[in-house]
Each structure stands twice: as structure tokens, then as C-alpha cells.
Amino acid sequence: MGVSRQTESRTKAALHVCPECRSALVQPVAWEQTSKSTEWRLWRRCPECEWLGEGVHTESDVDDFDEKLDFGTRELADELRALEQANMAEAAAGFVAALQADLILPEDF
């Protein structure tokens, strides 16, 4: 798909949702505070369809977006830990099986 650039108007749509493909994986690329202390200009990107957009959003909307990003980070970290544990359990089981079958010798170390 081609890259789509869009300037957004102030909107109440969830900032983590792509306006093009509806993916819930939209990420911030850059941000800056506007002249109003309660508004932020955000540049965002969708990793699925490569949509790019910018817009001015209220501090409340940005806080909600930040919470979604934090939740996603926790989900990824939890999944990574689960995968690491599963991989370690598999490696340990393979090592135990090799020990029991006398396939590991002192010179292997």
C-alpha cells in the first residue's frame, strides 16, 4: 500500500486507532505542545498500512492515548516473559533428555 499523509482536525476518535485501516496499533512519531498549554500536536503512524497523520489534540485525549500505549507495552512485556519461560522450559527438557540418554559428555563443556 502507498503512504497516506493526512492532517487531522480536532477529533474525539481514539488516537490509537488508524483512520484508514482501523488497526489499533497506531504509534506516536513526534509530539509538541501547542501555544495552548492544554493541547498537543501529534504525528502518528500506523505500522500496518503506513498511514501518517498529524493533528492537534486535547491533553485529555493524549492522556488516554498514553494509557493505551502503556497497556500495550505491558501486554508485550507479559507475552515476551511467557515466550521466554516456554523456551527455557523446552531447552531444559531437551537438556534433561540428553543427560538421561548419556548424549552429553564432559568434553562437551
Q: Is residue 38 part of a domain?
A: yes
Q: Is residue 5 part of a domain?
A: no
Q: Is residue 8 part of a domain?
A: no
AA letter at 75:
E
Residue that wins the pLDDT comparison between 106 and 66? 66
Q: Is residue 70 part of a domain?
A: yes
Q: Is residue 80 part of a domain?
A: yes
Separation CA 29–CA 26 (nearest Å): 9
Q: Is residue 109 part of a domain?
A: no
Using one digit for the tens of pLDDT, what is the confidence trace for 82-97?
Answer: 999 999 999 999 999 9
pTM: 0.70
Q: Is residue 49 part of a domain?
A: yes
- Residue 27 φ/ψ, nearest 5 degrees: -120, 145
Query: How many structural domains does the chain have?
Result: 1
Cβ–Cβ under 8 Å, residues 44 and 28? yes
Q: Is residue 77 part of a domain?
A: yes
- Residue 89 φ/ψ, nearest 5 degrees: -65, -40
Domain range for 54 is 13-101
Using one digit for the tens of pLDDT, what is the confidence trace for 19-59?
Answer: 999 999 999 999 999 999 899 999 999 999 999 999 999 99
Bridge partner list, 40: 33, 57
